[in-house]
Amino acid sequence: MQESQRQQDLAMPPSDVRVSALIRRAALPAIAVCLAVVALWWIWPRLTEEHVRETIISTLATEAQESFYVTGTLTFSSTVESRSEKTFLPGILNLSLGTTTATVRVPGRVAYGFDVGGMKAEHIHYGDDGVVDIALPRLTVFSVEPEMENVEIQTDVGWARLHRSSGQAMEQQALQAIRPTMRETAERHMASSETPELNTAGALVRLLTPPLQAGGIRHPQFRFHLASGGILELTPSDVAASEG
């Protein structure tokens, strides 16, 4: 058999022998790379769905402020008007003493996000497709911060009334209504716009990518089920591109 093999090799032209040797030498590195990839695939830690859930919930609990995770802010101005009408001897003379009006305009910021306690294990899934599925909790207002140092007040006092009484009273009434008005404005915006939910999804991608990578998901992919009914798929590169 060995004699037959030597005869075959001798029968081959010298150029073919060299080409065959080069092919064998070139194939060895490729085979080594394939073996290394397979070995890394087996060695690299892979998260189970339970581990993914634990990682996400524990990360949120660590990062949340007062059990609330702030995911975005809204900056806008609110205007409140308070009015007071007064009549002298109503039902008899019905003499109008005029209307006092105070209009207050204040810029400010509202922070929103969600209660970490609302993120349950059943809201998080991780399947064979390698996508992390998260059902977003409904967003709520966390804080209202009016910039009272930049308040604008315009007061019109009725013809037979005094600023120190009706004028100041209407101003105080309008100022006290600023915070509730800003909160209501923010809640209406969050109920009618998907933008806060999109911002929340981006914030979660930035927050959760490092711990998930450390746990074994080298390239995390996320699928968010929005409270408004939509579905949003994101990767860390998508979020980085939107910020760039």
For residue 191, tell me if it sits in a domain. Answer: yes
The answer, yes or no, to whether residue 25 has pLDDT greater than 80, is no
Angle 12-18-20 (CA atoms, 0-180°, nearest 5)?
80
Percent of the chain scoring above 70 in pLDDT: 80
Which region among 21-35, 66-80, 100-114, 150-164 has the lowest average model confidence (pLDDT)? Answer: 21-35
For residue 123, tell me if it sits in a domain. Answer: yes
The answer, yes or no, to whether residue 2 has pLDDT greater than 50, is no
By three-state DSSP, how is residue 74 classified?
strand
Distance CA 161, CA 99 (A): 8
Domain count, the chain: 2
Whether 124 and 217 share a structural domain:
yes
The answer, yes or no, to whether residue 80 has pLDDT greater than 90, is yes
Whether 141 and 76 share a structural domain:
yes
Whether 22 and 141 share a structural domain:
no
Segments forming the whole domain that contains residue 14: 2-43
For residue 99, tell me if it sits in a domain. Answer: no
Three state DSSP letters for 32-80: HHHHHHHHHHHHCCCCCHHHHHHHHHHHHHHHCECCEEEEEEEEEEEEE
Considering only residues 163 and 176, tell me which one the structure prediction assigns the higher pLDDT: 176
For residue 77, tell me if it sits in a domain. Answer: yes
For residue 229, tell me if it sits in a domain. Answer: yes
Whether 59 and 132 share a structural domain:
yes
Instruction: Supply the pLDDT for residue 40.
Output: 46
Whether 22 and 65 share a structural domain:
no
pLDDT in tens, 46-55: 678 999 999 9
Q: What is the average pLDDT across 82-110?
A: 90
For residue 196, tell me if it sits in a domain. Answer: yes
Residues contacting 7, CB < 8 A, separation 6+: none
Helix (H), strand (E) at residue 192: helix 178-192
Confidence bin at 15 (pLDDT 50/70/90): low
Whether 126 and 206 share a structural domain:
yes
Whether 58 and 38 share a structural domain:
no
Query: What's the whole-model pTM score?
Result: 0.76
Confidence bin at 160 (pLDDT 50/70/90): confident
Considering only residues 20 and 120, tell me which one the structure prediction assigns the higher pLDDT: 120
Instruction: Supply the pLDDT for residue 19.
Output: 46
Instruction: Supply the pLDDT for residue 161.
Output: 83
Whether 61 and 8 share a structural domain:
no
Whether 218 and 133 share a structural domain:
yes
For residue 100, tell me if it sits in a domain. Answer: no
For residue 129, tell me if it sits in a domain. Answer: yes
Whether 188 and 84 share a structural domain:
yes
Whether 145 and 24 share a structural domain:
no
Instruction: Supply the pLDDT for residue 37.
Output: 45
